[in-house]
Chain A
Amino acid sequence: MARVVLDHVTKRYGDVVAVNDLSLEIRDREFLVLLGPSGCGKSTALRMIAGLEDLSGGQIAIGDRVVNDVEPKDRDIAMVFQSYALYPHMTVARNIEFPLRSRKVPENERGPLVEEAARALGLSDLLDRKPAQLSGGQRQRVALARAIVRKPSVFLMDEPLSNLDAKLRVQTRAELIELQRRLDATVVYVTHDQVEAMTMGHRIAIMSDGVLQQVGPPQDVYERPANLFVARFIGAPPMNTITGAISSEGGAHYLVTAGGAIALPSEISGAARNATGLEVVLGVRPEHVRILPHESETQFALEATVAVIESLGHERHVVCRLADEQMVIVRQTVETQRPVEGTAVRLSADPVGLHLFDAATGLRLDAPDPQSVGDGE
């Protein structure tokens, strides 16, 4: 297995910069997820690692070797495509065998290798079928078998689950995690689905507009988003954001919004102190907001009206409207008392769940160092 290092990698198509100065280290035997919305450059980055796209700048190393000018076939990688990219005119066995043939693996060795890969993915009974005779999940497994058959150093996966239905996706997700552990392989996995990213990756690298936003373990990224983009992209429902300005009075800090002022707890006073006078965005995840009766008295609460309640069975999302029309979503367990739509309430937040961002730059205000936006190494 091997580590992959992207060093100031850039990809331009004419005037369009698809990947902008991307520096990232994927550790040996790591499952790294490249996450971002459509068109953020994550697939382009993956294709550059694969050698399917030339670099406009920077360099890529796999293991100890710079591979900028190395042909895809000589990079010791395997890729699983979103469309599976199975050869429709070949049987499952021939599809799995295909990479071995080009590498001139002797025929008597090819058979056992194909059988081993097929067995690992539960395809032993399907070897004589053509891809058209398989279900989506089976095709996906054939694509995986074709990738593992020649035991590459690095696996690249480009949204491999997007063509599966929701139920199968959950099942295949677990199988992929298990497969990665069994193979002890380095995996770079591209997806736009944050649930896949959160559940599968050892670390997540979030991209937007060709720029790397944050890299870190899923829980860290969720709990300490480096900027507003990450804060809003990770989490469903997304993080609530309330725009306002910071003011200080007698050592206490307040967030002044169009709908009134709220006192900020001491947990974020450090960040608030640095931002006094600035326009900021206060972020709070739906599970950290609590609905209090309107008559309750607390320092850290906002006046709101319950607008809509969405029940999901195991939990409910209460959408509240603040006095200045900003919306706040509250995630509640079903055991909590259900509020009444249209009533006035007060919203309070768990102080440890509050995040402050600079409204102008979008950066987190209590970040220890702006470099944490990068690799976080």
Chain B
Amino acid sequence: MATEFIESVSKPAVPIIDLVVSEEDRVAIAKRHRRRRASIAIRYVFLTFLAAIILFPIYITIVNSLLTPLQIAARPPFFFPTKPTWGAYSDAWNAGHMSLYLMNSVIVTVLIVTGQIVTATCAAYAFAFLEFPLKRTLFIIFLATLMVPFEVTVITNLTTVVNLGWYNSYAGLAAPFMATGFGAFLLRQAFLGVPRDLRDAAALDGYGHWRFMVRVAVPLARPAMAALAVFSFLGAWNQYLWPLIVTKDSRYRTLQIGLRQLRATSLDQVNVTFAGVVIAALPLIILLVIFQKQLVRGLTAGAVKG
């Protein structure tokens, strides 16, 4: 392609180009072109290498779920299942009570995601569109909560949940996560991108804050909301510590704890554990594939004005 480019410049269809592009320019253009191609190639090699590092454990997990325990233990290891066995999946589903845990995870995750979207939307709207005393200070406090690791608040949360009588219940599992500083921050940035004139126009048209939020601000902040939904889904789905301490029996245990139990009960059946991991990860993977565009758009929204 570089040669073609040089040829097209050296044999111009319109003679006037000869007057414009000197020999030196031609060499410089070709050099620049080669350099750009080399830089793109290096970038692709680097990204492919990174992707391989990230995808390798996932690949091995899937492969191991299709091997027998003996094949998994074999050295050198199997990188391709020559005779895949699917039995581990039914064993994990039945013996590991995956259907119950999956349902619990879905219920808790839906509660948390819905809760976060609703609370974050209201908080973000207030920070973006309303004027009230100590607005800035309150927002900084909201942001400061992002710096506090969850583990620090575990004991307080547990005491609160127990006092409320929500120990070993869906409410106890979801309540501490139904509001988030990150969500409020993300949506506030999206709402700040909504032109002030729209709010004024809506006020003249007879729309109060609530109706403006629902009918105008929220639809316009959809990409950021989708990003928040995906993030809170990931967080809620992968929770381990909190579900473990706030539940006492398997009726309310979630998938991640189920996986731990599966591993403990099928020590000699490593492939079953791997199959359980694949089942647990499947909803996440599907979600990411569906929402990857919104996820990226939501995170970059507001970064560039225009």
Q: A residues within 8 Å of B by Cβ?
A: 47, 50-52, 71-73, 77-79, 81-83, 85, 87-89, 98-99, 102-103, 146
Q: Which residues of B contact A51 (CB under 8 A)?
A: 203-204
Which of B205, B219, B220 has the most chain A CB atoms closer than 10 A to its own CB? Answer: B205
Q: Is the CB of A77 within 8 A of B204?
A: yes
Looking at the complex, which one of B195, B207, B219 makes contact with A83 (CB distance below 8 Å)? B195
- Say whether B18 faces chain A, with CB atoms less than 8 Å apart: no
For the complex, what is the distance from the CA of A86 to the CA of B265, rounded to whole Å? 61
> Which residues of B lie under 8 Å from residue A47 when comparing CB positions?
200
If A81-B197, A102-B211 touch, whether A87 touches B216 (CB-CB below 8 Å) is: yes
Contact yes or no, A89 B206, CB < 8 A: no
Instruction: State the CA gap A78–B204 with chains docked (Å).
Output: 7
A51-B204, A98-B202, A99-B204 known, 11 other contacts, Cβ within 8 Å: A52-B203, A72-B203, A72-B204, A73-B205, A79-B200, A79-B204, A82-B197, A85-B200, A87-B216, A102-B207, A102-B211
Q: Which of A50, A72, A85 contacts B198 (CB 8 A)?
A: A85
* B-side interface residues, number (CB < 8 Å): 15
Of A71, A78, A83, A103, which is within 8 A of B197 by CB?
A: A83
Say yes or no: is B201 at the interface (Cβ < 8 Å to chain A): yes
In chain B, what residue has the closest Cβ to A88? B220
In angstroms, how far is the closest chain A Cβ from the Cβ of B195? 6
CA of A98 to CA of B201, assembled, Å: 10
| Beta-carbon contact of A87 and B198 below 8 Å | yes
* Beta-carbon contact of A99 and B200 below 8 Å: no
Distance (Å) between the CB of B131 and the closest chain A CB? 11
Query: Which residues of B lie under 8 Å from residue A102 when comparing CB positions?
Result: 205-207, 211
- With A50-B204, A77-B204, A102-B211 in contact, do A85 and B220 touch (Cβ < 8 Å)? no
Q: How far is the CA of A146 from the CA of B205 in the complex (A)?
A: 9
Q: Tell me the minimal C-beta distance from B269 to chain A in angstroms.
A: 52
- Within B180-200, the residues touching A (CB, 8 Å) are 195, 197-198, 200
Q: Which residues of A contact B203 (CB under 8 A)?
A: 51-52, 71-73
User: In the assembled complex, which residues on chain B have CB atoms less than 8 Å from the CB atom of A146?
Assistant: 205
- Using CB atoms, name the residue of chain A closest to B198: A85
B201 touches A79 (CB 8 A): yes
| CB <8 Å contact, B201 and A81 | yes
Chain B 202-232 near chain A by CB (<8 Å), digits 1 or 0: 1111110001000010011000000000000
Q: Chain B residues near A81 (CB, 8 Å)?
A: 197, 200-201
Which residues of chain B are within 8 angstroms of A85 by Cβ–Cβ distance? 195, 197-198, 200-201
Q: Within the assembled complex, what's the spacing in Å between the Cα atoms of A47 and B199?
A: 13
Q: Which of A52, A73, A83 contacts B206 (CB 8 A)?
A: A73
| Closest A residue, CB atoms, query B205 | A99
- A99 in contact with B220 (CB, 8 Å): no
- From B197, B198, B201, residue with most partner A Cβ within 10 Å: B201
CA of A341 to CA of B219, assembled, Å = 63
B19 shortest CB reach to chain A, Å: 34
The answer for the CA separation of A82 and B196 in the assembled complex, in Å, is 12
Asked if B206 and A103 make an inter-chain contact with CB atoms under 8 angstroms apart, the answer reads: yes
Measured between alpha carbons, how far is A110 from B198 in the docked complex, in Å? 22
Kindly list the 3 A-B residue pairs having the minimum CB-CB distance in the complex, ordered from nearest: A102-B206, A73-B206, A85-B197
Residues of B within 8 A of A103 (CB): 206
CB neighbours (8 Å) of B204 from chain A are 50-52, 72-73, 77-79, 99
Q: Find the residue from B198, B206, B219 having the highest chain A CB count within 10 A.
A: B206
Q: How far is the CB of A227 from chain B (nearest CB, A)?
A: 33
Bound-state CA distance A98–B219 (Å) is: 15
A72–B219 CA distance with the chains assembled, in angstroms:
24
